[in-house]
Amino acid sequence: MARDLGILIIAVLVLAATCESAVLSPVSESHRSAALELFSPADGSYGSLEETYEALKTFKVLGIEKKHDIRTSSCASVADTLKSTSSALKDFVDALRVNSILKCELNSEAVRGTQSRFKDSLNGANSLIDFYYSIGGLVLLKEQMSEVDVNLGDADRIFRSIKALGQSDGRWRLSSNNPESSNNAAGIALEALAGVISLATPQIGNSLITTLKNDILKLFDGIERYDDGTYYFDEKHVGARGHQSPLSSSASVVRGIAAVAAATSETLNLPGEKILGLAKFFLGVGVPGSAQDLYHQIDALSYLENIRQVLWKLTFFRALYNKAHPDLKIYSSDLDFVAALVRVSTVLGSPAPTLSVRLMQIFVSGSKDASVIDQELKFDAVSGMHVLETLPKNIDVGSYVFSFEVIFHNPEHKKTYVSGGRTRVLVHITGVIKIDNAEIVILDGDRGSVETQKKLKLPGDNTVALSANHLQKLRLSFDLSTPFGNAFKPHQAFLKLRHENGIDHIFLVGNSGKKFEIILDFLGLVEKFFYLSGRYNIQLTVGDADMENSFLQPLGFVELDLPDAPEKATRPPPQAVDPYSRYGPKAEITHIFRAPEKRPAKELSLTFLGLILVPFFGFLAGLVQLGANLKSFPKSTVPSTFAILFHLGIAAVLALYALFWLKLDLFTTLKALGLLGMFLMFVGHKTLSHLASTSSKLKSV
Amino acid sequence: MIKISLCLFLVSVPFFAIICSAFSEDRPTDRRVLVLLDDFAIKSSHSIFFKSLETRGFDLDFKLADDPKLALQRYGQYLYDAVVLFAPTIDRFGGSVDAASLLEFVDSGHDLILAADTSASDLIREIAVECGVDFDEDPAAMVIDHTNHAVSETEGHHTLIASDDFINSEVILGSRKIEDPVLFKGIGHSINPSSSLVTKVLSASPAAYSANPKSKLSSPPTLIGSAISLVSVVQARNNARILISGSLTVFSDRFFRSGVQKAGSTTKHEKCGNEQFFVELSKWVFHERGHLKAVNVRHNKVGETDEPSMYRIKDDLEYSVEVYEWSGSSWEPYVAGDMQVQFYMMSPYVLKTLSSNEKGLYYTSFKVPDVYGVFQFKVEYQRLGYTALSLSKQIPVRPFRHNEYERFIPAALPYYGASFSMHSFYVL
């Protein structure tokens, strides 16, 4: 047994950082491949300049070298837009944004033209969107062309008129005649105000900036929160621009705050917990499926890094240790090599500053008891990982919660980084569980003496064939122990008996220490078994999340001989019908026709026909032989005509009968026969009366 | 007043035009789909699934499930052909929608995709029960499988299952075999064994069980082994189709993109089967496959072309029917070898498999039984995954007329001979 278990596999698996939600990994390869997939230009260019900017920005943040060559076409489109006088303000801004990344060579005349457009529209602006685009355009111009004069003389007035659209809860309205305020508009307003601050020639007064900072803090008071510490800006208002998802409005707010932070070069003292919560929200989206969502996510994360570097949670890597050792004692020292690897990075996956990670506490999963450990993880500069080289001695196969803490070496970093305090990580330590002394026994009911006993090999092929009656008992027992010889209680230890007709009976196998045992007393189970005798297949399932060798094993069968069911016994439940057999063609049916009556052979009928015709021919022969006289046939004209007609009529009836047989139906025949009958009556009467008169004449003569 | 009614008329004209272009006998594919979400983030995180629907021409209308303006019908007309219910935690729908109205929607022949998840609300469970599916009652229970789980770095409770126990049906899952296991993480359900309308599409392995992974078991779990269904479909008698999944995550982009490796196996699949499985399944649910129609039901005597009003016993007749399957865009000939016709009066007198010309025409010929009465030609075609075809045509069968019996019976010749010879005697 020991040799079989020689391979000890200990895997350190890691669950959620918060134990509840799924692990949120920082921006990774999957984002990059998704970005390339989602932002793939159709025939060398994107649909609009806005889309081009979103693609370029996402690629830039993710550090993707441009795979799609769109520079030429995009630059041409930028130049076109800037030259045209009919383009909307938004298009100018998008063009300048694209230019800020691509650095196209532009005609300075055209640029100057746009500058006056922006200034004009700024003077006539009354809605937030107008302010946003004209100020945004000027800021972009300032960044890209140093020679253009973009300074605002009346910055204070513009600042106040934008500020006038703000609400007391930190949200903004899009224009003065639209009463609904939104977080999305707040983000836009903050960006516009940041632009005003950076463009103002006489600096904006400090009092205005302070009120702006207060507005931001108020905005954070209205942030929504999930139970797991995720924060986001929700959007209830469905405005003219359609429904803004929480992702886009949160991104908008983050962009605005980042712009303000950059413009004022002051610390905003934003609550670290909420910044971390926002980072969690953006990462929690996973890899978004639409290009715009991906842009919002990546863009917002990049700004979050600028506001305050958010240290993303500790990411663990699966560490496998695999070594053969027959001697149990060595395992405990072997465990010392198991390394828990911890990587600390920022949300965008860039390396963290110098810091140390300490393992503070270990909880046994599911209980409150914690062993306090204060152990520093060793930093491996090559891989950039923090390595837990030794595990505490009392760690065995099982689930634990490790609590880690990040400590910055440089206290200054505390101001610029958010790490989120202690991180609790669920760690599964798995191993091969040893199974010994497995046996299945049939016991005699009264004395408890062993009737049959079979050793089992677990896991392995077993085909035991047992038989028992309702006065006997079945006992299954086995021992489970961890590689360190401790008792192990798996989550799943089921014994299943399945009757031939498909009814399952499940039993939990209980334990006391290492020993697992179940005794099935059939006398008490007859009712549960629905008094069904016959073959029951035995199946044992032992499994646990921390058990490397979980198994489902058929053990064989037991032939049960149970008493007959009393009348009131419950019937077994119906079993699910196999879906394949429920449908399908039915057996064909052909109609069986009534058998025809039995008839004599044709030859026999013909013979009899001949026999029947014999007298007729005999008669004809007789007539010819004897010589028939026609003496009494009337001689005079009239009676002879009647007599001939009468005879012809009789012949016609015969012909009619022949026709009836051959062709006609009963009704036609009867009709014709009626007419013929009347005719015959008439001519027959005439003939007979003539014959009568001649014979009376003869008598009288 | 005239102005108002004119306005109403102008408003309603395009509205009825929309209704007319909707679900019909001729075009059974759904057009307008209402997607109910818990959270708009699902729209983005499950975008591959939605995109596949949109590229197939569906008009998706995303709404929050508690949107107060939610309505399934207006002026007695349904606004949608199908509902995708991706809101497992919703306790109460907004607007005029509730469980009863949603079930009525299905009862009137519309389709539904329902995804539950751990902590599924009572409302979702209630709808599922009405569809013939019982989710595990324990709200914390998940399907756990210690031998067939997917290898994962982030999931240690073995609740991420790699299942490849699919139903063997080309019509439901498409003609291309699903090679890669499907990732599943969620709750299991059982289907009512007496229901013939519910079918398991994805089942758990024999070692699986449904329990709370974080607490010790005190009694045997109610759902165990391959009786656990992970994904089921329902085809109602009115051909409404329902897909019920015990997990919403299975539709997510994360799962659609994820690779999978089964525990204890060395083969690593680059991509799990989720995308293929659920996209194909949605094609079936939205009637892009497996929807049959029968046209041109004909019958006539052999050698004639007109349909008689009545048959005589022992007539030879020909029966033919054309069957087409909707492919999502057109009606294609349906080819199968197991279409059967019954000549039925109280019970089938003749049951015959129809021959096919492989172009959708099914035909056969048989002799009318020597029993008269009012018969029916019946085609009852029910196959797994296909809509049921139920055709019947009544036709009376009469006995022989007096002049239709046999005329020249050889056995009777002596009698004929006798009578004719008698008569001849008489004439002579």
* A196 touches A155 (CB < 8 A): yes
Q: Are strands A398-408 and A355-364 parallel, antiparallel or unpaired?
A: antiparallel
Pick the closest to residue A67 from A85, A83, A55 (CA basis): A55
Distance (Å) from the C-alpha of residue A531 to the closest C-alpha of chain B?
21
CA distances from A58 to A62, A66, A300, A503 (A): 6, 11, 10, 58
Give chain B's domains with CATH numbers.
2-285 (3.40.50), 291-404 (2.60.40.1930)
Instruction: Tell me which chain B residue has its CA closest to the CA of residue A296.
Output: B44
* Stretch 203-262 of chain A: residues touching chain B, C-beta under 8 Å: 243, 245-247
Q: What is the pLDDT of residue B95?
A: 87
* Stretch 381-410 of chain A: residues touching chain B, C-beta under 8 Å: 399
Q: What is the pLDDT of residue A332?
A: 28
Better-scored residue on pLDDT, A337 or B115: B115
CATH assignment, A4-18+313-429: 2.60.40
Within 10 A of A650 (CB to CB), how many other CB atoms are there?
Answer: 18
Q: What is the pLDDT of residue A320?
A: 32
Q: What is the pLDDT of residue B280?
A: 93
Q: What is the pLDDT of residue A308?
A: 57
Specify the DSSP class assigned to residue B305: -
Rounded Cα–Cα distance for residues A592 and A498 (Å): 45
Is the predicted pLDDT of residue B325 greater than 50, yes or no? yes
Q: Are strands A423-429 and A417-418 parallel, antiparallel or unpaired?
A: unpaired
Rounded Cα–Cα distance for residues B394 and A99 (Å): 78
| Residue A647 at interface with chain B, using a CB cutoff of 8 Å | yes
Measured between CB atoms, which of B41, B206, B352 is closest to A588?
A: B352
Handedness of CA A573, A578, A582, A586 (dihedral sign): negative
Mutate to test the interface with A, among B55, B62, B117, B158 (most CBs of A within 10 A): B158
Q: Is there a contact between A599 and B214 if contact means CB atoms under 8 Å apart?
A: no
Measured between CB atoms, which of A426, A580, A590 is closest to B384?
A: A580
Mutate to test the interface with A, among B157, B209, B380 (most CBs of A within 10 A): B157
Q: Is there a contact between A602 and B410 if contact means CB atoms under 8 Å apart?
A: yes
Instruction: Tell me which chain A residue has its CA closest to the CA of residue B199.
Output: A579
Q: What is the pLDDT of residue A341?
A: 53
| Residue A594 at interface with chain B, using a CB cutoff of 8 Å | yes
Q: What is the pLDDT of residue A262?
A: 78
Q: What is the pLDDT of residue B154?
A: 63
* B29 touches B286 (CB < 8 A): yes
| Residue A657 at interface with chain B, using a CB cutoff of 8 Å | yes
**Whether the bond into A202 is cis, omega within 30 of 0:** no
Mean pLDDT over all residues of chain B? Answer: 86
* Percent of chain A's residues with pLDDT above 70: 81
Q: What is the pLDDT of residue A266?
A: 67
Rounded Cα–Cα distance for residues A421 and B159 (Å): 29
Residues of chain A with pLDDT under 50: 1-23, 239-241, 312-339
Is the predicted pLDDT of residue B3 greater than 50, yes or no? no
Within 10 A of A294 (CB to CB), how many other CB atoms are there?
Answer: 26
CA distances from B301 to B356, B360, B402 (A): 19, 22, 21
* Stretch 512-551 of chain A: residues touching chain B, C-beta under 8 Å: 539, 541, 543-545, 547, 550-551
Rounded Cα–Cα distance for residues B74 and B22 (Å): 14
* A456 touches A439 (CB < 8 A): yes
Q: Which CATH class is domain A435-571?
A: mainly beta
pLDDT digits (tens, 9 = 90+) for B155-166: 678 889 999 889
Beta bridge partners of B375: B395
Identify the three-state secondary structure at position B316. Answer: strand
Measured between CB atoms, which of B156, B213, B340 is closest to A585?
A: B340
Instruction: Tell me which chain A residue has its CA closest to the CA of residue B213.
Output: A491
Rounded Cα–Cα distance for residues B46 and A285 (Å): 10
* Residues near A87 by beta carbon (within 8 Å), at least 6 away in sequence: A81, A95
Instruction: Tell me which chain A residue has its CA closest to the CA of residue B314.
Output: A593
Q: Is there a contact between B257 and A583 if contact means CB atoms under 8 Å apart?
A: no
Identify the three-state secondary structure at position B169. Answer: coil
Over residues B375-395, mean pLDDT? 91
Q: What is the pLDDT of residue A347?
A: 65
For residue A303, give both structure tokens: 């700004």
Residues of B in contact with A545 (CB under 8 A): 144, 146, 156-158, 213
Give alpha helix (H) positions in B26-121: 41-45, 47-55, 99-107
Is residue B398 packed enough to be buried (19+ CB in 10 Å), middle (13-18) or exposed (0-12)?
Answer: middle
* A564 touches A526 (CB < 8 A): no
The count of C-alpha atoms lying within 13 angstroms of the C-alpha of A2, restricted to the half-sphere facing its C-beta, is 9
Residues of B in contact with A630 (CB under 8 A): none
Residues of A in contact with B348 (CB under 8 A): 589
Pick the closest to residue A520 from A558, A491, A572, A487 (CA basis): A558
Is residue A146 packed enough to be buried (19+ CB in 10 Å), middle (13-18) or exposed (0-12)?
Answer: exposed
